[in-house]
Amino acid sequence: MEGINKIVSGQLLALSEQQLISCDQKSKGCKGGGWYVNAFRYVNNNNGIASEKDYPYTADNSVCNNALPQKKSATIEGYTYWCHNPVSESSLRCLVFQQPVSVSLFASRDFQLYNGAIFKGGLLRN
């Protein structure tokens, strides 16, 4: 969201992680792990998000301060959830060319145990 805001407004603004932790009920704060699609939905439904300066990070699972989310420093018009397996380099390049992307991947047991080299589908290569 910070990246697309920079592209649109020309201003790089730190946005409030704490607002997402405290106010996005679907992500369940620090206990839910947070999923970026929920963050996009929250910001879209809330018609924006406060800046880090207006709603600072406190590193806790505090109750939403409803007064602070009213200060909206950035908005998003929407998002697209695109799930493609396997992802082709050319299709990803096309998406990145249009705007910033958020990426997640399935962390298989092999991936969780990864500690170096090049990872490719459960096989480690030197």
Same domain, 40 and 18: yes
Domain tally for the chain?
A: 2
Burial class (CB in 10 A: 0-12, 13-18, 19+), 74: buried
pLDDT at 7 over 60: yes
pLDDT in tens, 52-94: 999 999 988 888 887 766 778 998 888 877 776 666 778 778 8
Same domain, 45 and 69: yes
Residue 49 · residue 41 · CB < 8 Å: no
pLDDT at 124 over 60: no
Same domain, 62 and 21: yes
Quote the pLDDT of residue 126.
46
